[in-house]
Amino acid sequence: MSDSATPADLADAIRRQAVQAGVETPAVRGADWRLAIVQTVNSDGTVLTTDGITARRMDTYLTPTADDQILITQSGSGNWITLGRTAPPTTAGTWQTLTLNTGWTAFSATYYTPAYRIHGDGTAALAGLARAPASTTGVATVGTLPAAAAPAKRVRRVTEVASGIFGVLDINADGTIQITDYTGTAGWATLDVASRYRLT
C-alpha cells in the first residue's frame, strides 16, 4: 500500500482480505451440506428434521420415512433441500449372502451365490441360484431375509424351479422367500428374477 493510502483504503483492503480468507477456508466458510434425521414427512413434498429444519425433497427421494438419515443442503437465500437418504452402514449397495433354509445350498460355482442387496431408493434385489433339497415339492422356503431387506407387502415373480418347469417366487413381508405354484419336483430356485423389488 502506498504512503498516500487513507484509513478508508486500509479498512477496505482488510475487509477484502477477510472475505477472501473466508472463501478459501472451510472452517470459516462452513459446510455446504450436512446430515440430518427425518422427524416428520409432510404432505407438501417436504420433511421436517429432528433439529427443526424443513427441507424440500428431490423427486428421486420417493419413499421418505421417519428416522431416515438424509443429506440436506442450503441455498444462499436460506432455503433447504434434501437429496435423499444416505445408505445404511452395512448392506446398502453391496451383496450380502442370503441365509438359506435347511437343506438348501448354493447351486455351484458356475452361478452366483444366493445373495441380496439393499438400494438407497427404497428397493432391494436378489441374485443367485439355490439348489433345492431332494424331493422338494409344493410350497418350499428357500431362505430368510433380514427385516431391512423384507418388503412391506408380498412380492411375486415367475421363476424356473427345474428344467422347463416354472413356478412363483414369493418374497414375503416376514422375510421368507418361497417357491410355489409349480408341478413336479423342484431342483432349484432362480433368485435373479427379483432383480429389483419395493421395500415400502
Distance CA 106, CA 104 (A): 7
Distance CA 97, CA 110 (A): 16
What's the whole-number mean pLDDT along residues 174-183? 97
**pLDDT class of 58 with cuts at 50, 70, 90:** very high
The least confident of 79-83, 116-120, 144-148, 164-168 is 116-120
Task: Count other C-beta atoms under 10 Å from residue 113's C-beta.
Answer: 17
**C-alpha cell read off for 16:** 477484502
**pLDDT class of 19 with cuts at 50, 70, 90:** low
**C-alpha cell read off for 190:** 432362480
Tell me the percentage of the chain whose pLDDT exceeds 90. 64
pTM value? 0.59
Task: Say which residue, 2 or 12, is predicted with more confidence.
Answer: 12
What's the whole-number mean pLDDT along residues 2-16? 71
What's the angle, vertex CA 177, arms to CA 171 and CA 181, rounded to 5? 80
Structure confidence at residue 49 (pLDDT): 95
**pLDDT class of 64 with cuts at 50, 70, 90:** confident
What's the angle, vertex CA 38, arms to CA 94 and CA 71, rounded to 5? 55
Structure confidence at residue 114 (pLDDT): 97
Which domains, ranges and CATH numbers included, belong to the chain? 30-85 (2.40.50.140), 96-198 (2.60.40)
Going across the sheet that includes 96-97, the strands are: 96-97, 115-118, 123-127, 197-198
Q: Which amino acid is at 41?
A: V
Structure confidence at residue 4 (pLDDT): 64
**pLDDT class of 103 with cuts at 50, 70, 90:** very high
